[in-house]
Structure 1
């Protein structure tokens, strides 16, 4: 039995995520583990995930500490195979020694991690089942178990065109057999697209000709001067600890909170939305008295399965999007600068949910096919899994339109930021008593404010106003609206 350590690298958790925070180890050095046994809990920008081991054996080394952020493709755990006595890894004198002992140098780990992430975007399939990259074939173990299952090494496929030089041992130890080319990570691809840089004209400086971020930066800055290799974002931040004096305000710094996980994802998404979407906002006050009265009557008849107000409004929203499908689209810009509006045959209705980990937007898939009661059940289920941190990337990233009930926080309205890459968001304010004219007379009614933020590139104000007025009319006359749906 070979005594070579098996190094399991942090797998791609799907949706283009490139890092995860190590929350907790579920095993310790010296433990005997089985295939598919959870070894660690990690928190991504999407959810909390248990990472299972693709190997059985004895835990030889844990690469990282709780609270540390790890890059996808970096070593997570080293395991001595079953029947082998785990030995202390020796400092390698050369690359071959490093591979034979299972020790990976920083340079090798960085190259392997970059190659690993690159291949994931080409669909290599080395991901957690349920968190897979699109178009990749998932090989290996698929037997059911509680939680996610790691894909183990698949049998080699037919060889592809070989690079000029043999693949580095560190890279070969982490990749699933498949296509290795100059495909780059989404972040680097976007940088090139945003600056009009043709990837075909770039000679990659990474392993096997991979195009790296520094290559695109050099192309952007040419011919003035080549760009220096990019430093990690963390390195650019001051290393000063709390208690230091802030140079701008002259006040002592009381705390420094790293932006990561869900907060980091939300910040990036909101920034992208504000940067790329020319949004406009329309709003209207709505008399919700009839809706509240109808729900109260339903609750008397069937107290245990009466849909909530959000589910009823969600039903009106899906009907409105069928009438005004322009708001259920996505605006895309191609690498060549071409633009198109992508429509969908169906509605995945997202809704904003506040959790201990921050604001997330789970989505009810095929919401247009569900009744108000079915919508209510799915909204409750998704809210529960989101607050537990167990929602999958698919549940959190597949929406086509978002409904935001910020009225639960006691506010009337909001100039909401659209949930990129969607093109519209409907907000619902609190329902309060207000003076309202009914049949020419002043009365006290239950009034709420609806606010629609929309991407002005996909439609004009007439479409947005038509949708908003339709939902408002449904709320004011819910019985007739539901009867027509």
Structure 2
């Protein structure tokens, strides 16, 4: 391969992931790109991420198509070094310009200047833990140009004549004289809000799409799209299932998050000798305490899950065996790995499947801080933007399946953790209080645990601790 060609291989996206599905290319062959410019969107078993380029130059080849699964370390994109091919000289006169088929465009100059102004506000995302250091100032400088040029269409139409390459503004091609030039910031804003740039008429010079144009498109209501989900493969006519004799209606590939969940759950069931304990809990006092706090601070009151999370972290400090990992070493020996801290995972249902983001160092956070972090992680997880670290670093999982309207569940432990606490819905039930029958707000707590790391006494002690804290939240919080 020519020394002027740089091959960028799919990088290690973190957490031991070995493959990723190519969702979408953000560049095309012939594009001029710069260092740290996002070149592709890929979906791993953990999240959707943008992959930035470590090289600047001209895109020579894209190694893969949308929907294809690529292995880490395999070629992703080939980039010709900037300046590898001799660039046509800038015409010194109008006559020279006509002879070469290139004309200067003051409108595109204006577009470039507007682009520079627009980009001062920021740039696109860079893959977490990857890319060049130093931020914008460190490796995103743009070569200064006194003018830009576009290909004369008459010259382009000549079959035998060589076609002059199109110039670029910060890696965004200009396919014609008056095409939109879009900054990474504007492109990111459009992607985040599901706005198609092809449908926007730019208000800037030369049709440049500005931030205000995207904001206007965001504020304009559109027909709701169907939620993202597994895409079924077309089924051939006459496809019959050999076991049932029924016609096959759909075949859905198992990949991405669903593939990871399936593998993780199967491994959990295969390797972990799981046991389960449960208890009904009177949550009336907790609900009353939260209602009282909400009266005082309507917009700054933690949710119920945040309070329960606070009780869980306190319980894990008392029963640390449930905040461990059971490991089998290469030599066959076994050990239980304990942690100096708690990363509290919580199950979040998304359009892409069930994921478990984790609140790092949750034991150091108050209920209010836990609430803020749970909300933030839920949001990024549902947008598919949670990082591999956020999705793969938990030490214990809290699962609020009550939001689905169920009371209990025989939960599967989130491998390689050793325990999971499930919380059912809170409903009115008859309950004996001080010898009198009353209607109380009751929920069911279910703890699934790895019997290799502890016995039932430890599991029951932890579960009872959390239950007592829910029934007497004021006293529990005072002691934490």
Same fold (TM over 0.5): yes
Q: Counterparts of 1:18 and 1:412 in 2: how far apart (Å)?
A: 38
Match of 2:172 in 1: none
Give 1:11 shift.
1.0
Give 1:405 shift.
0.2
1:352-372 CA-partner distances (Å, limit 9, x unpaired): 111111111111111111110
DSSP-derived class of the 1:482 partner: helix
Say whether 1:279 aligns with 2:274: yes
Give 1:56 shift.
1.0
* 1:142-291 equivalent positions in 2, closer than 5 A: 142-144=133-135, 241=236, 243-291=238-286
Match of 1:28 in 2: 28
Match of 1:72 in 2: 72
Q: How many residue pairs align between the two structures? A: 346
Match of 1:356 in 2: 351
Match of 1:59 in 2: 59
Q: Counterparts of 1:45 and 1:331 in 2: how far apart (Å)?
A: 23
DSSP-derived class of the 1:251 partner: coil
Q: Counterparts of 1:382 and 1:145 in 2: how far apart (Å)?
A: 26
Match of 1:15 in 2: 15
* 1:366-385 equivalent positions in 2, closer than 5 A: 366-385=361-380
Moved over 3 A (4+): 128-132, 238-243
Give 1:284 shift.
0.3
Match of 2:189 in 1: none
Q: Counterparts of 2:79 and 2:327 in 1: how far apart (Å)?
A: 44
Give 1:243 shift.
5.0
DSSP-derived class of the 1:416 partner: coil
Match of 1:203 in 2: none
Name the Cα RMSD after superposition.
2.0
1:268-315 CA-partner distances (Å, limit 9, x unpaired): 111110010000000000010110000000000011110000000000
Q: Counterparts of 1:400 and 1:438 in 2: how far apart (Å)?
A: 36
Unaligned runs of 5+ residues in structure 2 are 87-125, 141-232
Which has the higher Rg, Structure 1 or Structure 2? 2
Unaligned runs of 5+ residues in structure 1 are 87-127, 133-139, 150-237
- Contact 2:279/2:444 (8 A) holds in 1: yes
Give 1:440 shift.
0.9
Q: Counterparts of 1:255 and 1:68 in 2: how far apart (Å)?
A: 20
1:175-198 CA-partner distances (Å, limit 9, x unpaired): xxxxxxxxxxxxxxxxxxxxxxxx
DSSP-derived class of the 1:453 partner: strand
DSSP-derived class of the 1:354 partner: strand
Shift of the 450–145 alpha-carbon distance from structure 1 to 2, 3 Å rule, reads farther
Give 1:5 shift.
2.2
DSSP-derived class of the 1:298 partner: helix
> TM-score with structure 1 length normalisation?
0.69
Match of 2:49 in 1: 49
* 1:434-453 equivalent positions in 2, closer than 5 A: 434-453=429-448
Match of 1:217 in 2: none
- Which of 116, 132, 140 lines up with 1:141 in the alignment? 132
- Contact 2:276/2:449 (8 A) holds in 1: yes
